Structure 1
Amino acid sequence: MSRSPSNSTIRNFSSSISNEESLVSPKPKQQQQHPWLIVGLGNPGKQYNGTRHNVGFEMVDAIAEAEGISMSSVNFKAHFGKGFIGNVPVMLAKPQTFMNASGQSVGSIVSYYKIPLKQVLVIFDDLDLPFSKMRLLPKGGHGGHNGMRSIIDHFKGSRIGRPPGKMDSVNFVLRPFSKQERQELGFTFQQGVEAVRILLLEGFNKAATFVNTAKPMEQLS
């Protein structure tokens, strides 16, 4: 119709809406979902790229690539990115404070976003498991790892094996991987990405089962 409705029609329409709404209970507000914080530990600088001590950085990069999350911003003294894994909000961080001061960066992120410690996942190298073997832990101590020593005791990790013979541990962890190790490591990163997805979407127990039953690459070839 080209003619505007009368004022009385508008008033009646408004009052009918008000009466209808008074009979409907308001919907409860949905509780905001806290994001997960996924941290990879390592040292900044080209001289540390590709070394054993920086597998935490590489694992976070693998997650970012798989999930389409940009890590181009720098916040909280870290390379930082936000996105989703499935419908779960996540933050990815690679602290740039050097390994031994990682807690400065991680602590700032956790405090600012009020992230529950049970939703902080820290990925780091460790000497106590064979190369390319992962372990998922709900909590624990630092185990002598200086990066973990400066963060929190709520962690899960991927580990790299002890040095051969009498080689000094510091020299060992700062060495690059061999060509064969690099190939195996790529396969391990794929498993790690899947483990993180399961952890966030299906819970710790299913993720731990996946990690503990995952076969090394050589057993699948």
Structure 2
Amino acid sequence: MFDKIFSFFSCQHTNSVDKIILGIGNPGEKYAHTRHNLGFAVVDNLAKDWNISFNKEKFRSLIAFYRFRNKDVLLVKPLTYVNLSGEAAKKMLDYFQLDNQSLLVVVDDISLPVGKNRLRLKGSSGGHNGLKSIIKHLDSECFARLKMGIGENKDCDLVSHVLSRFSDEELPSINDAIVSAKEMCQQWLCQE
């Protein structure tokens, strides 16, 4: 426990960060547990596992620091809403003088089936407005993204679908996907 407290404070005081994991989502209770907030769910679960909390607001985001295997990690939940996620990402990378390869974005993806995760080190936005914003602000598609499947619903419009909650039948797959996503995030942190 002392090590966690010490690394939290030492990281804050030195402004040292090696890696950033940014979960895309919308702030507020209205959007909690929606398909569009899977990124928030993953970083929330990482914070819970690491026994830390999002107790600081900076870069138009809620942030939490943690020392993971000799790396200072910043968990991020932008308060910009999904469509402006790039503003927060750019401010953080600039502030900590990090390149784009130090960033992992966790994001929902309608092109993947519910419960399926896919890690990519670069690529297009795939039509996701949060990724579009990050690509625009970083002027690059070269950053890691962990895409989490939310499925597609041809019976309703896209906005209604991404802002809907998962069905009872989908929840077991989503819970498994969150566990898998946490493991994938930690594997990414271990890569040089």
Same-fold status (TM-score > 0.5): yes
Q: CA deviation at 1:198?
A: 1.6
DSSP-derived class of the 1:109 partner: helix
Structure (1/2) with the larger strand percentage: 2
1-structure distance, mates of 2:149, 2:171: 12
Q: Which runs of 5+ in 1 are unaligned?
A: 1-32, 205-221
Deviations 1:31-66 (A, max 9, x none): xx8510100001112111110001000011111111
Bigger radius of gyration: 1
* Structure 2 partner of 1:159: 148
Corresponding residue for 1:81?
Answer: 64
Q: How far off its partner does 1:182 sit?
A: 2.1
1:153-209 Cα deviation digits (max 9, x unpaired):
2131222243233321111110011223222212211111111112222x38xxxxx
Secondary structure, counterpart of 2:120 in structure 1: coil
| Aligned residue number for residue 113 of structure 2 | 130
Q: Please tell me whether residue 104 in structure 1 is matched to residue 50 in structure 2.
A: no
**Superposition TM-score, scaled by structure 1 size:** 0.73
Letter in 2 for 1:191: S
Q: Which residue matches 2:175?
A: 186
- Residue identity over aligned pairs, in percent, reads 33
2:68 matches 1:63 = no
Cα contact 1:130–1:162 (8 A) shared by 2 = yes
Give the corresponding residue for 1:177. Answer: 166
**Paired positions, count:** 171
Amino acid at match of 2:52: I
Per the normalisation by structure 2, the TM-score is 0.83
CA distance in 1, matches of 2:152, 2:188: 30
Greater relative CO (CA pairs within 8 A, separation 6+): 2
Moved over 3 A (4+): none
Please tell me whether the aligned partners of residues 66 and 193 of structure 1 are also in contact (alpha carbons under 8 angstroms): no
CA distance in 2, matches of 1:118, 1:112: 15
